[in-house]
Amino acid sequence: MQQLIEPLAGLVAAGGVVVLSGAGLSTESGIPDYRGPSGVARRHTPMTYQTFLADAAARRRYWARSHLGWRLIAGAAPNDGHRAVARLQQSGLVTGIITQNVDGLHSAAGSRDVTELHGRLDEVVCLGCRRRTSRAELDGRLRAANPGFVGQAAAVNPDGDVDLADAQVAAFRTVDCVACGGLLKPDVVFFGETVPADRVQSCFAMVEQARLLLVLGSSLTVMSGRRFVLRAAKRDVPVVIVNQGSTRGDEYACLRVEAPLGRLLPALADRLLGAGPAVGSAALPGVPSPVGG
């Protein structure tokens, strides 16, 4: 582990670090990712925004699965990796955090001003009046509407979705907004839905002002997260990627580290913030610009 820490510590030591995190950071909290070594293969197509709006049966299926999955997400606690990121932010070395995760664990670990790119599962929005409520409140209403619901799931996906038998889904009752009767949706970005433009622009600005973009636990498979790596490379902001498994941003990284985040990040924070010799900042090698970026 020490041989992995030293080059990473040298790059992070000068500060100005913006973190871009993905599902791999939460695996040690019991939330599997989709593509990493602890990932769970999905057996059904993820819900799209268009289907959620148009198909009442699909909405019932989503809420039945998500109702059960939410209980598992709500019980998850930040792991040592989340807490290490919070320590690095509190020290001033990390100046911004962008997460693709919807589990809220960065904030639970003590990080502040986290930009949650895809929203949060613990918040619900009415698509009619836009009233926002807590997921805990909705959970209580769904429990009351489904007193006999005892669904079982082998595993939960990073978005809180699980696999359930059709018979369990068919018996599930959904609820609507108490204020206007409108459709309720978790305040997260579904497939086929766009991240709010102001949120994306805020993240771009954060990346452009960074000294270093540190990617943690993301395969960068989808453009939603990879665009920030491309923007960093285009603006000559060095990129460091820590992930178990290859990513679609590896070609832009000046340093690529393969290690469990729950072990590496606490060791990094201890090296930089704890007792021991001071770490000098390393020179940052150039990063190739993306083709057509």
**Segments making up each domain of the chain, as ranges:** 1-31+79-118+197-293, 40-75+120-188
Whether the per-residue pLDDT at 112 is higher than 50: the answer is: yes
Residue positions forming the annotated binding site for NAD(+): 100-103, 217-219, 243-245, 261
Mean pLDDT of 227-231: 98
Residue positions forming the annotated binding site for Zn(2+): 126, 129, 177, 180
The CATH-assigned architecture of domain 40-75+120-188 is 2-Layer Sandwich (3.30)
Per-residue confidence (pLDDT) for residue 249, from 0 to 100: 98
Per-residue confidence (pLDDT) for residue 123, from 0 to 100: 95
**Nearest residue to 207 (alpha-carbon basis) of 223, 182, 177, 227:** 227
Whether the per-residue pLDDT at 5 is higher than 50: the answer is: yes
What CA–CA distance (Å, rounded) separates 119 from 266?
26
pLDDT confidence tier of residue 155, bands split at 50, 70 and 90: low
45 or 217: which carries more pLDDT confidence?
217
Q: What is the identity of the amino acid at 107?
A: S
Is 118 one of the annotated active-site residues of the chain? Answer: yes
Whether the per-residue pLDDT at 247 is higher than 80: the answer is: yes
Q: Is 1 within 8 Å of 263 (Cβ atoms)?
A: yes
Tally of CB atoms within 10 A around 227: 18
Q: Is 1-31+79-118+197-293 CATH 3.40.50.2000? A: no
Per-residue confidence (pLDDT) for residue 143, from 0 to 100: 94
Per-residue confidence (pLDDT) for residue 37, from 0 to 100: 47
Whether the per-residue pLDDT at 290 is higher than 50: the answer is: no
Secondary structure (H, E, C), 103-132: CCHHHHCCCCCCEECCEEEEEEEECCCCCE
Residue positions forming the annotated binding site: 100-103, 126, 129, 177, 180, 217-219, 243-245, 261
What CA–CA distance (Å, rounded) separates 245 from 130?
39
The residue annotated as part of the active site, out of 67, 82, 106, 118, is 118
Per-residue confidence (pLDDT) for residue 39, from 0 to 100: 42
Whether the per-residue pLDDT at 2 is higher than 80: the answer is: no
List the single range of 134-143, 144-153, 213-222, 245-254 with lowest mean pLDDT. Answer: 144-153
What CA–CA distance (Å, rounded) separates 258 from 275?
25
Q: What is the pLDDT of residues 187-223, one digit of tens each?
A: 999 999 999 999 999 999 999 999 999 999 999 999 9
